[in-house]
Amino acid sequence: MIKCGVDIVRVNRLAEIDPKIRARFIQRVFTEREQAQMRNNNEGLSGLFAVKEAVSKALGTGIGKVAWRDIEIVHLPTGEPTLTLHGYAKEIAHSKGLEEWAISISHDGGLAIAMVVATGKS
């Protein structure tokens, strides 16, 4: 089985949010490890946001049924993004037999785009 998801985000969306709302949004959407790695980098956070949306699409749930923080993206020292699923997102992936995930994130022209491909047994 192969599932894929893609999402694109304007990098400036985060910068345009009122600072108080932005802080709450970041706490609600990103895990502590994600926040530590990105350190308020709008481009990086936008890329992670796009990955979370893309993963929810690959799971077939959309983000409404999966908690933002159940999808965690952490970069290896090489810069490669890795995915860890928690909670309901992990349950859905397991129920669909999705075991391996490939992630690609790119930034250009004020946009962040993410593509994910999940493979596993059907």
Using CA atoms, how far residue 43 sits from 19, 48, 49, 79, 118, in Å, is 16, 9, 10, 14, 24
Secondary structure element (H or E) that encloses residue 104, with its range: strand 98-108
- Are 50 and 8 in contact by the 8 Å Cβ rule? The answer is yes
Find the Cα–Cα–Cα–Cα dihedral 50, 42, 16, 84, rounded to 10°.
40
Cβ distance 75 to 82 under 8 Å? Answer: yes
What is the residue extent of each domain of the chain?
Answer: 2-120
Active site residue ranges: 57, 107
pTM here is: 0.94
Task: Write the pLDDT tens digit of every residue in 47-60.
Answer: 999 999 999 999 99
* Domain 2-120 of CATH type 3.90.470.20: yes
Residues 15-64: pLDDT tens digits? 899 999 999 999 999 999 999 999 889 999 999 999 999 999 999 999 88
